[in-house]
């Protein structure tokens, strides 16, 4: 998904001038009318900024493949119509899947086996608002271990978007595996072995170098 961060007038992204806190919504230029500061929008935007509405509401006519399962028979709900399980016909309410908290913690089950770094990249690339919540211990800080206990919080409004994109990535990975393209490249920065189809290192997000 591509969003032009430099578009004018400025959309309602709930951004403030970093110098004087003036709200930037509706500005015709990238200059703060209050304090005169030049505004570098990509630098002001944060991972939790809401730059777009959700693509999915869970109310779609044919239930998209969110990787969700029927509570009654445990079969996948993908493709369900009329809010009924396609396997056992039990009714379901899409809203009941949505986490209760406004910002919910992304669990391993939601990631469906994808490393958290990949999920973080998906969230970034799809402009899904999220916060990283670091529970670092003194040991982690002194010993330099990375992403220990790092927890991602995603806005509830984007629950279905997150699931759909995780599911799409899982499918893509499965297809590549089936096609036998198990190639990897070695990250020049952290030496991580990264699957061929990623252009950024999934561990440190360093760019891939030409072979």
Binding residues for Zn ion, per CB under 5 A?
Answer: 17, 19-20, 22, 32, 34-35, 37, 70, 72-73, 85, 87-88, 90, 187, 189-190, 192, 201, 203-204, 206
User: b or e along 150-165 (b: 16 or more beta carbons within 10 Å of the residue's beta carbon)?
Assistant: eebbbbbebbbbbbbb
Task: Supply φ then ψ for residue 110, to 5 degrees.
Answer: -65, -35
- From the list 149, 117, 146, 151, the residue with the least C-alpha distance to 132 is 151
Nearer to Zn ion, 105 or 115 (CB): 115
Helix (H) or strand (E) holding 184, with range, is strand 184-186
Task: Supply φ then ψ for residue 67, to 5 degrees.
Answer: 75, 15
In angstroms, what is the minimal distance from the CB of 72 to Zn ion? 5
Nearer to Zn ion, 22 or 48 (CB): 22
Tell me how far apart the alpha carbons of residues 104 and 99 are, in angstroms, rounded to a whole number.
6
Task: Supply φ then ψ for residue 66, to 5 degrees.
Answer: -95, 0
Nearer to Zn ion, 70 or 154 (CB): 70
In angstroms, what is the minimal distance from the CB of 28 to Zn ion? 15
Nearer to Zn ion, 48 or 185 (CB): 185
In angstroms, what is the minimal distance from the CB of 185 to Zn ion? 10
Nearer to Zn ion, 118 or 154 (CB): 118
- From the list 43, 4, 11, 47, the residue with the least C-alpha distance to 26 is 11
In angstroms, what is the minimal distance from the CB of 189 to Zn ion? 4
Contact 30, 39 (CB under 8 A): yes
In angstroms, what is the minimal distance from the CB of 141 to Zn ion? 20
């Amino acid at each position: 998904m591509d969003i032009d961060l430099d578009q004018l007038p400025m959309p309602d992204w709930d951004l403030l001038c970093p110098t004087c806190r003036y709200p930037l919504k509706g500005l015709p230029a990238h200059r703060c009318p209050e304090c005169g500061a030049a505004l570098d929008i990509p630098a002001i935007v944060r991972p939790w900024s809401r730059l777009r509405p959700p693509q999915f509401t869970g109310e779609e006519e044919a239930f998209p493949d969110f990787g969700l399962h029927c509570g009654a028979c445990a079969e996948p709900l993908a493709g369900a119509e009329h809010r009924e399980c396609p396997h056992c016909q039990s009714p379901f309410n899409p809203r009941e899947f949505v986490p209760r908290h406004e910002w919910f913690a992304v669990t391993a089950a939601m990631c469906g086996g994808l490393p958290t770094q990949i999920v973080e990249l998906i969230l970034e690339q799809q402009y899904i608002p999220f916060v990283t919540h670091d529970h670092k211990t003194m040991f982690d800080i002194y010993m330099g271990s990375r992403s220990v206990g790092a927890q991602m919080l995603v806005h509830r409004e984007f629950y279905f978007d997150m699931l759909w994109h995780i599911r799409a990535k899982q499918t893509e990975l499965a297809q590549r595996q089936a096609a036998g393209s198990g190639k990897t490249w070695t990250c020049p920065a952290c030496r991580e072995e990264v699957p061929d189809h990623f252009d950024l290192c999934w561990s440190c997000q360093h760019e891939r170098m030409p072979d």
